[in-house]
Structure 1
């Protein structure tokens, strides 16, 4: 039991499905952190980190989370800076 109840509910949202052949995998992103940086050249960067979990598709809803090799959850960074609205940095080792 936590000493203090969180004041903000967990921020989660569905993201695009992954499709491989006839298999559809649902994805859900959960907010992890937000950081803002500025370098010595004045370039500002806002970085949001989300944790993406993969789920079996259950109709249009989310089924059980997938945890097998190649289906583990992963973190992805969404970055906005002076020149880019949003750019996603996602590991490329999934779904080869």
Structure 2
């Protein structure tokens, strides 16, 4: 039960650039580079000033995935971003498949 509460609270969380970097144990510059390359999105992509960027829980999870792929496979950020895209797509498809199976029952 407490696990569900943690997830709900995380969904509502908004992190600044510095909070995201600190919580993921990466530099501020690391996050800025991934945003500039299009691998991460802040909540308002029109905002050019990194000091005003906000990130949601999905961004937090995506950063953790990208970090893991970059470190484990010693690959460049673009490839890590592509792997993160594929993981997210697989999760979405699994969720849809599970929902479809539940509707059939």
The answer to whether the superposition gives a TM-score over 0.5 is no
* TM-score (normalised: structure 2): 0.28
* TM-score (normalised: structure 1): 0.30
Which structure has more helix as a fraction of its residues? Answer: 2
Which structure has more strand as a fraction of its residues? Answer: 1
